Amino acid sequence: MTSYLDLLLLLLLLLLVLAALGIACVMRDCLFGIAYLHESKKIHRDIKGGNLLFTDQGTIKLGEAPFRLLL
């Protein structure tokens, strides 16, 4: 019985690590996008989960272009 429990705990730990790595990748791409906008003297004003677009290559793009303003 303990071997099944150990396997279950190992799988749960693996899922948690993979989820944390996925969140880190999304945050990294979002921060790159925000840095690009700021270098271009633009702000987004509506950054939220619904405005994150996933590309076929697995990268993230910031959506809702009409909300960007020039500084």
Residue 6 annotated among the catalytic residues of the structure: no
The single residue of 6, 29, 46, 56 carrying the catalytic annotation is 46
What span, in angstroms and rounded, lies between the C-alpha atoms of 35 and 24? 16
Helix (H, G, I), strand (E, B) or coil at 71: coil
Q: What angle do CA 24, 67, 41 make, to 5 degrees?
A: 75
| Residue positions annotated with a catalytic role | 46
